[in-house]
Amino acid sequence: MYYISSEATFDGAHFLKNYEGKCHNLHGHRWLVRAHAKAEALKETRQEKGMLTDFGNLKKSLKEACDFFDHALIYEKGSLKDTTLACLEEENFLLREVSFRPTAENLSKYFYDLLKNDCPELCRVEVYETPTNKAAYEE
């Protein structure tokens, strides 16, 4: 079995509504997203001969996905009052609404689903909130 991985980072803020603890408060992380791909055989086409998949393609897709959240407030739909959102928008803050609670676990599934279209060999995505705390998703 062959394996490759690529990683990208972004700085982003979030909070966990209805959480009893520090993460209830707005805070930020330097998020690290690592994508892993695997295959039993290497490709034979001219361009990708001897490769599992082109690192450049995986790296580009991963960077674009991370750049979307860079220096943004990632928040769950319905977790902020309309007046709060209006104030943040009036200040021109970059806001990224997601349909899920923005935990590392949910973000790992989000990135997996997003990247799988561009990289069928994708097998696992890890999301680090800190250098020592990560969540992962794989099928």
| Whole-number Cα distances in Å, 52 to 3, 37, 87, 92 | 7, 8, 47, 42
pLDDT band at 110 (very low <50, low <70, confident <90, very high): very high
**What domain count does the chain have?**
1
Its domain, for residue 105, covers 2-138
pLDDT reported for residue 127: 98
pLDDT-derived band at 135 (thresholds 50, 70, 90) equals very high
pLDDT at 37: 97
Average pLDDT over residues 38-54: 94
Distance CA 28, CA 130 (A): 10
At 13, list the tokens.
């803020």
Query: Each residue of 54-98: pLDDT tens digit?
Result: 999 999 999 999 999 999 999 999 999 999 999 999 999 999 999
The per-residue pLDDT for 63 is 98
pLDDT at 117: 94
**pLDDT of res. 52:** 96
